[in-house]
Amino acid sequence: MSRRHMSRSFLCVLGALLGVALPAAGSSPVADAPAKAGVYAPITARAEAMVTVTFVLRIKIEGGGDREVESEVDCLMIAADGLVLCSNTEMGGYVSLLGRMIGGGRLSASGSPSEIKVMVAGEAEGTPARLMTRDTERDLAWLLIEPPAEDTAPRSYPFLDLEQGTTRLEPGDRFYVLRRMHRFFGRAAVVVEATVGAVIDKPRRLVVPAETLQLGFGLPVFDARGALAGVTVMQTPTAEEAQNLMANPMSFLGSAAKVGDMVGGLVLPVAELTKATALARELIAEDEAQ
């Protein structure tokens, strides 16, 4: 099996495979807005809870052989005990997505992350972690850092408390996405400002940006006060829906905006995150009790 390096975002690859040019981030009113240091500074300070997760993705494609891909993604520490929230898409979920979209739901493809490590606060070497559970519908995955054998007491990690997130974004509100640049740029923290274009209820409550984000998934979103409002996610059709879509692909792929709705980045509200994480904690406890 060969091992190759995968870029931090697969959106361009997905767009190319679908034969669609995704909308560029482009200009927005933000470009002409004055600097808002009073808003940006406290949000940037929350970057200490953003962690870098490295792993080897083992890809299996029916009839296409196996391969390994080295990957690196941004995730979010959400508890002092080392519970990490990631995008399921970024943790290899995109492989089955491609199978559904390209194969009309009939192509068997899967991606399993291994050799997972979490780098906290600029660490050069990460700490091993386990993938505990996933929520594919909400595009979420939870990792748990394994306590190093040399530690004599449990570590306490800087984190973002989901329980303190009570913000409810509405159309017209400004919001702020926190991301990190590539390691070539020292993984510097960057704040990206956007506007809520709509709030939808199907398939669940989601915040739709007025501009296509294309920033990646699993990134924290804040309101103007610096309160956590949610995370960026991808929402994709089920295997059955994908098969129906691809039965007449040109009616779907003829509009880049429709593809952008799926891969351009939506925001899953913090209330949804809190409920999903509570359930994940229960599943993790059951697994560890066995």
Instruction: Note the pLDDT tens digit of each residue in 235-263.
Output: 876 656 655 655 565 555 555 566 667 66
**Strand, coil or helix: 95:** helix
CA 290 to chain centre: 29
| DSSP letter, residue 148 | P
Query: Is the pLDDT assigned to residue 273 strictly greater than 50?
Result: yes
Residue 158 has a pLDDT of 93
Residue 236 has a pLDDT of 76
C-alpha–C-alpha distance, residues 216 and 76, integer Å: 13
Residue recorded with tokens 């290899």: 92
Query: Is the pLDDT assigned to residue 26 strictly greater than 60?
Result: no
Tell me the per-residue pLDDT of 98-114, one tens digit each, with 9 for 90 and over.
766 665 556 677 788 99
Q: Which residue has the higher pLDDT, 213 or 76?
A: 76
Tell me the per-residue pLDDT of 187-246, one tens digit each, with 9 for 90 and over.
899 999 999 999 999 989 999 999 888 788 999 999 998 999 999 999 876 656 655 655
All domains of the chain, ordered by start, with CATH?
Answer: 34-289 (2.40.10.120)
Residue 142 has a pLDDT of 97
CA dihedral 148, 150, 156, 160 (to 10 degrees): -20
Residue 212 has a pLDDT of 82
Residue 230 bridge partners (DSSP): 221, 269
| 121: confidence class by pLDDT, cuts 50, 70, 90 | confident
Lowest-pLDDT range, 12-26, 60-74, 144-158?
Answer: 12-26
Query: Is the pLDDT assigned to residue 154 strictly greater than 50?
Result: yes
Query: Is the pLDDT assigned to residue 119 strictly greater than 70?
Result: yes
**Strand, coil or helix: 280:** helix
Strands 109-119 and 83-86: unpaired
| 277: confidence class by pLDDT, cuts 50, 70, 90 | very high
